[in-house]
Amino acid sequence: MAHIIDTHCHVGLHKYEPLETLIYHMNRAGVDGAVFIQYMGNSDNSYLVDCLRRHPGRFAAAMIVPPNDDGAAIRTWAAQGIGGLRLAVDDLATGADPLIQWRTASELGLVVSARCSIESLLSAEFARVVATFPTLSIVIEHLAGAKLDLQPPYANFKKALALARFPNLTIKLPGFGEFYNLTTLFHGALGENQAELDAALASRAPALFDQIPPLADLVLEAFGPERIMWGSDWPPVSSREGYDNALAVPRAWASTLSQAEQDAIFGGTASRVWKLA
């Protein structure tokens, strides 16, 4: 497999964990690079800048700026090496130009990591954004807002996935614990023995994969592997299936795809979008 890149990690000194802890988990799982996604409520991106400077080439980052920023803060952080901006898909700035932050990201060639719910993806605000900035690289977070309570026939989810018609949109494939409670299986049908779990993953055991909703399959059908990128959601994932399984389960799910398609999902798409080797 080509380089593996984790496109959704949070690091910090006052919330979550410092970079060194993430690197430990990455090295243990065989993950080569990562994208720092600034956590909500923090528009001081200096720690992300410090992390990028200490490890040139291995990481990328998405900043957060205040709602009233007119683009000045975005330009300042971008000049320090941050290549992305985190916005909710229906975010509007509070100044004279409500689209100024999207506009600035487009002008600077930044990547927008887009927080969302299924409903917000279908909003008039996001429709306006995608119509206005057809070349802006927008990465939809967290499997388009799929949650544990999502039920068939997934009508609105499928409507949101129809946004794949816009070629500048890509989407993050998270650990499957975001949309299905794997704990029962990990500590029930599959036992608590790591070897048993590894064997179940390697064989795509029905005890695991027949239980998981087909949400990742729907995303694959809509976007294709060249527009999907894996992201663990570390460290919140530690309270779900854990970092290793956040990678292992999606890789087992994708094991029936060609090697080129797997390489795209777990590294190639991220490398192209986030400009990581």
Sign (positive or negative) of CA dihedral 44, 133, 5, 164: positive
pLDDT tens track for 163-212: 999 999 999 999 999 999 887 777 665 656 777 777 878 878 777 788 88
Which of 69-78, 111-120, 182-191, 224-233 has the weakest average pLDDT? 182-191
Instruction: Give the model's confidence band at 35: pLDDT under 50 very low, under 70 low, under 90 confident, else very high.
Output: very high
pLDDT tens track for 212-247: 899 999 999 999 999 999 999 999 999 998 999 999
- Write 96-102 long-range contacts (CB < 8 A, 24+): 97/70, 99/128, 99/129, 99/132, 100/69, 100/70, 100/71, 101/65, 101/69, 101/71, 101/74, 102/129, 102/132, 102/133, 102/136
Dist CA 201 CA 108 (whole Å)? 42
User: What does pLDDT average to over the chain?
Assistant: 94
What per-residue confidence (pLDDT) applies to 24? Answer: 98
Work out the average pLDDT over 11-15: 94
Cis peptide before 153 (omega within 30 of 0): yes
Work out the average pLDDT over 59-75: 98
Work out the average pLDDT over 47-70: 97
Options 2.160.10.10, 1.10.10.10, 3.20.20.140, 3.40.50.1820; CATH of 5-274: 3.20.20.140
